Amino acid sequence: MAQVMAATSAALDGSAEAKPRLSLLRIIEMNLGFLGLQFSFGLQQGNMAPIYSYLGADEASLPILQLAGPMTGLIVQPIIGAMSDRTNSRWGRRTPYFLIGAILCTLGLFFMPLSSSILMAASLLWILDAGNNITMEPYRAYVSDRLDESQHNVGFLTQSAFTGLAQCLALGTPALLVGMFGMNKDAIGGNNIPDTVYVVFTIGAVLSLSTILWSVIRVPELPLTDAQKVHIDAQPKTVASTFREIWDAIREMPKPMRKLGVMMLFQWYAMGIYWTYVTYSIARSVYNTSEPVSDGFRSAVLTNGTMGAFYNAVAFIAALVMMPLVRKIGPRYVHAVALVSGGLGMLAIPQMTEVSWLFPAAVGVGICWGSIMGTPYVMLASCIPPRRTGVYMGIFNMMIVIPMLLNAATFPFYYEPLLGGDARNALMLAGVLLVCAALAVLRVRDDELGT
């Protein structure tokens, strides 16, 4: 009886037969959609806070205005995860969600620079982030579905490498438009949004849809087994059953995943602070200004874009270097070292008063970011049941957005009284939190991850 149950479970999990090993080129092609997806995220990181400032928002309100990302992630990702686990369509299990999300993302990117008010920009950000999150969760599950377990580290770290490359391009393109193509950084529209933003967001809109289409056409999903089809068709498809599946998965969450949740709390609260306030820190430390409509602030936006492009290039290289390291010494040690590197970098950036000094400090941030977008998923994939890959990937991404929600809910209350309203202090707090995240990931044991 035990053997029969094990065989049934293996069949439902799609593990009854070995999955075909893919060449590195095919793994790159299947993750190309991540280039467009992360180009969009890079645009948000580098431009949303300044866009709100151009439209008249004050610094203390920025975390609240950025709520779209964490809220849509909290709501959308676990629901889409549970739904995609139980989807059996002519286009595949995950592909319909890739395409719907890519279309929403494209629309959000195209119209964002046309925003005429804070309300319009915030509304478009909700559409944009909904699209990103609809695509993101199934894309993580797609790697776990499509690849043999021995190739998971290559699959997820390829996604991480594409994250670094995409965000390097997204953050660096405005400076290239000014430096190489002669665009005027001070040329602005009637809404105070620079012309460079219009151009780079349009590029992002094209990439979001085209790269997803390339991935799903070139490396389609594996067909479901008969046992998987029967199991999926037998599952209830009601709204109540979807939420019940999410709740059951949370209750039955594997112990190492719970431990990883503590790490996620520290690392993503820190990243939320960094993305919101790094431009303002640079404006103060390098350009001696805190005025959003000043020439110095626009220079800080471009400098942050260049620095962001640089650290994402470092992340791209770091993710490639981490592939053999994760296999050799284990993902938790690699990730802990990367988190400490990021913490030291964030502590150093506010101390720099010259543009050229920012880049050595940003190396640590790049190493950290190269690991954040890949290594935790290697650990996660080794400790969750394959039949629940979608819902657990969605729940894991809730562990990204909940810290960001906490950031939005708490940061405005202590930004002035505890941090003196100074973005440089905010960045140093983020650095300390990354070191705490490194200590937290070491609590996970190798035997819990099967390594």
| Cα pseudo-dihedral 245, 247, 249, 252, rounded to 10 | -140
Phi, psi angles (nearest 5°) of residue 236: -65, 145
Place of tokens 């990702």: 77
- Backbone angles phi and psi of 194, in degrees to 5: -60, 150
Q: What are 92's strand-pairing partners?
A: 89
Query: 45 is written with which tokens?
Result: 């990181």
Q: d(Cα 251, Cα 243) in Å, to the nearest integer? A: 12
pLDDT at 6: 40
Predicted confidence at residue 9, as pLDDT, reads: 44
Measured at the CA of 185, the angle between CA 179 and CA 189, to 5 degrees, comes to 145
- Name, in order, each residue with C-beta under 8 angstroms of 288's C-beta and a sequence gap of 6 or more: 296
Q: Is 254 exposed, middle or buried (0-12, 13-18, 19+ CB in 10 A)?
A: middle
The per-residue pLDDT for 450 is: 60
**Beta strand segments in 39-104, E:** none
Among residues 366, 339, 330, 389, which one has the least CA distance to residue 161?
A: 366
Rounded to whole angstroms, how far apart are CA atoms 382 and 220? 23
Cβ count near 181 (within 10 Å):
10
CB atoms within 10 A of CB 434: 28
- Per-residue pLDDT of the chain (451 residues), as tens digits, is 334 334 444 444 544 456 788 888 989 898 898 888 889 888 887 788 888 888 888 777 777 787 777 777 777 877 887 788 788 888 888 888 888 999 999 999 999 999 989 889 988 998 998 888 888 778 877 888 888 878 888 888 888 888 878 888 887 788 788 878 888 877 887 888 888 888 999 999 999 999 999 988 898 888 878 887 887 787 777 777 778 888 888 888 888 889 999 999 999 999 989 988 999 999 999 998 888 778 888 888 888 888 988 888 898 899 889 988 988 888 899 999 999 999 999 999 999 999 999 999 999 999 999 899 888 888 888 888 877 777 887 788 788 888 988 888 888 889 889 998 899 999 999 999 999 999 999 998 867 676 5
Q: What pLDDT does residue 440 have?
A: 94
Identify the bridge partners of residue 89 per DSSP, sorted by sequence position. Answer: 92
